[in-house]
Amino acid sequence: MIENFELMLKELKLLPQKQRMLTELQHWERGDKSLHEIMLYIEKAITDETLDAEWLVEAATPPGEDGIDDAADPNSGDHV
């Protein structure tokens, strides 16, 4: 139970970062910003420590490509 609470706190802490990143990606999808501008945003945000680089890598890694078998991970949330 404490692990779930700690995960929830971590998610809440990262929520503003996720929202800013999603907003930037929406600008790119609409054509308002170029990929180059988005990459510069990411670089600056990481440098300014307003974007957690570890979270970004984790968020950008497709499931199963991190070397961890999610089906065998009891914390993955996918088990019944």
pTM flag (> 0.85): no
Q: Which two tokens stand for residue 75?
A: 């914390």
List the domain boundaries for the chain: 2-72
From first to last of its 80 residues, the chain has per-residue pLDDT tens of 677 777 777 777 777 888 888 899 999 999 999 999 999 999 999 999 988 888 888 888 888 776 555 554 555 554 44
Listed in order, strand segments (DSSP E) in 1-80 are none
How far is residue 49's CA from residue 73's CA, in Å, rounded to a whole number? 30
Question: How far does CA 5 lie from the centroid of its chain?
Answer: 19
How far is residue 24's CA from residue 7's CA, in Å, rounded to a whole number? 25
Q: Report pLDDT for 67.
A: 56
